Amino acid sequence: MQYKYAHDVSTSAFSKTLSQRIDLYFEERGISRHANLEMYSKTVFGFAATIAAYVWLMTGRFTALQVIGVYVVLGFAQLYMAFNIAHDANHGGYSKSKRVNRVMSCVFDLVGVSSYMWRLLHNTSHHSFVNVRGADTTFTSGNIFRFSPLDTRKPFHRYQHLYAVFFYSLSSLDWVLTKDFRWLTAESFGNKKIDKHPTGELILLFVAKAVYYTYMLVLPILYLDVPWWSILIGFVVLHLFMGFIIALIFQPNHFNLEATFPEVDAEGHISNNYIRHIFDTTSDYANHPFKNWILGGLNLHVIHHMFPGICHVHYPALTAIVKSTAEEFGLDYRETRTISGAFLAHLRWLKVLGNSDAAPTS
């Protein structure tokens, strides 16, 4: 089935007006939609922090317990790189140059995640068809979770709000060890059919994984004067923290009581246009200068999904345009004040879905 939106953006007054105002924002200021000095400074900081944390790990004299803590510090530096550099580059938002974006997207590969598989799972599937069952791969959980009213409810889902944090914490470890390999067998991502993966991408995936396992596990085990098991524990704890943080940041944006979960007709039509679809399925949280800076703008998810090719340093100003335009058209822009509040709202959504077959109404 080929999924498609039933209406063009130009057919909606809200969507058309918003798109025009976003374009006007950049035209009036004569600035690029891509990276600016702030973004370049964040890039330097991200690489410097990651290199410094790794050098600290490899040159320091630590006890078995202390080395675990250093791994966690390294994990947070790598997460900053993924959120702030790789994510933008994979969407083409870092630079107007495709080559620069491709190089910078390899930051994902450096931290253990295939940039190629990310583009298929995240860009081609999730971004194209948010909350659309069958097209959005974020619904795929092996039936561990019921994320949508359209999913079949299992008896154990009544407890999903309780076990969510445990399984979410495992997600990063799963990604660097198995997820990229598992999805290589998928036949399609969104509307993209896969007959054969590009040889170059496969080589990069396997070589990058080998490099990642080597510098994160093999070299520390060989050269650090600590028990080998402390290295393994540090690696696991690092990914438990990263998995939880990733879920804390990503899950509340689309899976909550106020989000919609559109059904497609027999021909794959989504009864909306893309901009309005994003507005109905996505929400923001914690719009604050420091949080915007540390999270790479992922908390300002509405503008990101509407215009993913724009660098995240512009999101705060553009989000103000989204809010004012929505108010003008009588639409309810959804925002939660804090990260914790957004995540708790997500857990409440899981609880509702776990205890009722009916589609909840906000």
pLDDT tens, the chain, 362 aa long: 899 998 887 778 999 999 999 999 999 999 999 999 999 999 999 999 999 999 999 998 899 999 999 999 999 999 999 999 999 999 999 999 999 999 999 999 999 999 999 999 999 999 999 999 889 999 888 899 999 999 999 999 999 999 999 999 999 999 999 999 999 999 999 999 999 999 999 999 999 999 999 999 999 999 999 999 999 999 999 999 999 999 999 999 999 999 999 999 988 999 888 898 998 999 999 999 999 999 999 999 999 999 999 999 999 999 999 999 999 999 889 999 999 999 999 999 999 999 988 655 44
Report phi then psi at 210, rounded to 5: -65, -40
- CA–CA separation, 254 and 211 (whole Å): 34
Of 65, 28, 86, 1, nearest in space to 298 by CA: 86
Provide the number of structural domains found in the chain. Answer: 1
In the numeric block, which tokens belong to residue 109?
Answer: 């590969």
Domain assignment of residue 128, given as a range: 4-354
Helix (H, G, I), strand (E, B) or coil at 251: helix
Is 321 within a domain? yes
Structure-token match 């215009």, residue found: 307
What type of residue sits at position 133? Answer: R
Is 362 within a domain? no
Is 360 within a domain? no
CB atoms within 10 A of CB 263: 13
CA distance from start to end of the chain: 30
Check: pTM over 0.85? Answer yes or no: yes
Is 359 within a domain? no
In the numeric block, which tokens belong to residue 176?
Answer: 């660097």
In Å, the largest CA–CA distance within the chain is 65
Is 171 within a domain? yes
Is 77 within a domain? yes
Is 106 within a domain? yes
Is 91 within a domain? yes
